[in-house]
Each structure stands twice: as C-alpha cells, then as structure tokens.
Amino acid sequence: MSTAAMLLVVAGCTSGTEQPGQPSKPSAVKPSAATRPTVTPAPYDKSPARPLGKAAATGRDEAFLRKAFDSGVPTGYEVPPVDEVAVIHRLSAETGELAWMPDGHTFCYGMVRGDYRSFKCGRLPEEAPAPGLLLTHPGDSDGVTSEDNLEQLRRVVFVMAEGGPKRFDHVKPRKQLGVVHQAVARFPSGRMVTFLTFDYPGHGWELDPEARICRSDRAICFPSQPVPD
C-alpha cells in the first residue's frame, strides 16, 4: 500500500516528500500552530494607519505641515489627510520629520529643514532587513550645504519597526549620534508600527561597530551606524 504525501502550506512554502525506506507510522495530528504562517499574509491592511498620542498632528503643526506639503509629494502618491500624518520630530514650528502609511505595504517619510524639504515614498521590502524591522533608510542630508560649513552637516536616518509603543534608544557607544525620535501609528486591525529617526555627522563620520539602538524590551535591535546605499 502506498503512503500518501501530505502537503503543508506554511508562509508560502511547501514541505518535502516522505523519505523512502522508513517504516510506516500512524500520523499524529499536529497542533494548529504547526501550519500557522510565519509572516502576516498580504495585504496587511488596506486602510491607513493613524498616529497615536503626541505623534498626532495638532494646530501647532500647521506651519510645519504646510511647508512640508506646499510642493506636493512624490509622483504617484497623495498628500495624506492630517489625521494620518505621524509627526516624528518637531525641531521647530516649521521644521521636523514626519511619516505616514496609506496601507500596510506603502510608506512615505518626509523631512523639512528651513527651505529644504525631502520625501521618500515606496513599498516595504518583501524581505525584512532584520527581525522586527520593516525598513531602514541610511540617511538624507538635513540641508543644502557648502564647503564652508561641512562640519555642521548632519544626515537623518529613517527606520520603521513592527509594534509599539515601547521606546527605542542607544544602548552601546553613541559617539556623535543624535537623539532617537519616534512616533507610533496603528492600523484599524490593531497592528502598530513605529517610525524612528536619528541623525549623525555627514562629514568625518567614524563607524562604530558596537553602536546599536534597541527597543526597551530588547526584542528589536539594529546597528546605529549608517549602512551605505
């Protein structure tokens, strides 16, 4: 009598076939966890995430948002409603960093420094850069500079992590690294994401292989040294 092969579908992959030459044994029923996907099935959420707590834009952010969106956003994307904008860092009344997610796969990140503004929009990578991380962007210049003020130039790193609202911070040597700023947003499904930014010198940077940023419970950590494009 031939032995039937069972096909298990786990996170989009199939199991191997039964090995020959082994005695037939009664099949035990596996617990449901054995066939549970290891990643959240796509799409995560079709509705936008909305910021929580102090990340929500208020009247004090009006000038900042106006300056951020006065020239629109990258082609193919839309200026979000105010209640979908997460303010990550309020540097001044008209400068800072913000982000939003119109759905569970799409992100946009923006930065304003004086008359300089920068936006990055796109789809999250299919493969996460590390457990618990969704995206790491190595850094944009925080302004237009010249050779006369290179020493003042900073670069701003943007990171997205699963979950919230636990705090992230530097846990190893943080020489020349700026403060970690963060904002949490939640989808209607209950899934939460954390937007993070911090800056580092854009000139004369010395890599520190031990420098790391971790969530307070140490469940998510990542190197704080910039990774080249």
> How far apart are alpha carbons 150 and 154 in whole angstroms?
9
Give the pLDDT mean for 47-74: 97
**Cα-flanking dihedrals φ and ψ of residue 73, to 5°?**
-130, 175
For residues 191-220, give the mean pLDDT. Answer: 90
Pairing of strands 181-186, 192-201: antiparallel
Strands 154-162, 95-103: pairing is unpaired
pLDDT exceeds 90 at position 166: yes
Tell me which of 1-5, 138-142, 217-221 is least confident: 1-5
Name the pTM for this structure: 0.78
Total Cβ atoms within 10 A of residue 187: 18
The pLDDT assigned to 9 comes to 31
* Res 40 pLDDT > 60: no
Give yes or no for residue 87 having a pLDDT over 60: yes
Q: What is the pLDDT of residue 56?
A: 98
Average pLDDT of the segment spanning 100-114: 95
DSSP string, 45-108: -SSPPEE-GGGB--GGGHHHHHHHHTT--STT--PPPGGG-EEEEEEETTEEEEEEEEETTEEE
Q: Quick check: 99 pLDDT over 90? A: yes
Of all residues in the chain, what percent carry a pLDDT higher than 90?
Answer: 58
Per-residue confidence band for 150, with pLDDT thresholds at 50, 70 and 90:
low
Which residue type, as a one-letter code, is found at position 192? M
Tally Cβ neighbours within 10 Å of residue 61.
Answer: 19
Kindly report which listed range (12-21, 96-105, 118-127) carries the lowest average pLDDT score.
Answer: 12-21
Tokens of 158: 């943007």
| Alpha-carbon span 136 to 202, nearest angstrom | 17
